[in-house]
Amino acid sequence: MRVRFFFYSALLSLVSTFSIPAMAQFQAPTDEELKMTADPKAPGAAAVYLNVEEIANDPIHYQSFYARIKVLTEKGKELATVEVPYFKGNK
C-alpha cells in the first residue's frame, strides 16, 4: 500500500512539473491596445508586435514562441498569418 502511494505521488508530481510550461497563458488586450490605430514608434506600419516571448528548455525538449500583434490596417491582415514549423525527427 505504501509503495503504491509513493508511486502515484511521484507520478503526479512528475506530470505536474512537465505540464506547467505547456499551459497557454494568453494575455487579454488592454483598452488602450484595442483603441490603437497607429503606433508612434512605427509610423505607417500595417501591424505591430505588442509582445514577443520565446522560451526554450532543452532538458525537457520544450520550445515556446508567443507573439501578440496588433493589426492596424487591412494590409496588416496579410502579416497576421501564423505559421507553425514542425520538425520531424533529428534534422
Q: Please give the chain's pLDDT, 91 residues, in tens.
A: 665 555 556 555 555 555 455 555 778 888 998 888 888 888 999 998 888 888 888 888 788 888 888 899 988 887 777 777 777 776 5
Residues of the domain holding 59: 27-79
Does 90 fall in a domain? no
- 34: alpha, beta or left? (left if phi > 0; alpha if psi -120 to 50): alpha
Does 70 fall in a domain? yes
Number of domains the chain is built from: 1
Instruction: Give the pLDDT confidence score for residue 15 in this predicted structure.
Output: 52
Does 35 fall in a domain? yes
Q: How many residues does the chain have?
A: 91
Does 22 fall in a domain? no
Instruction: Give the pLDDT confidence score for residue 53 in this predicted structure.
Output: 87
Q: Is the pTM of this model over 0.85?
A: no
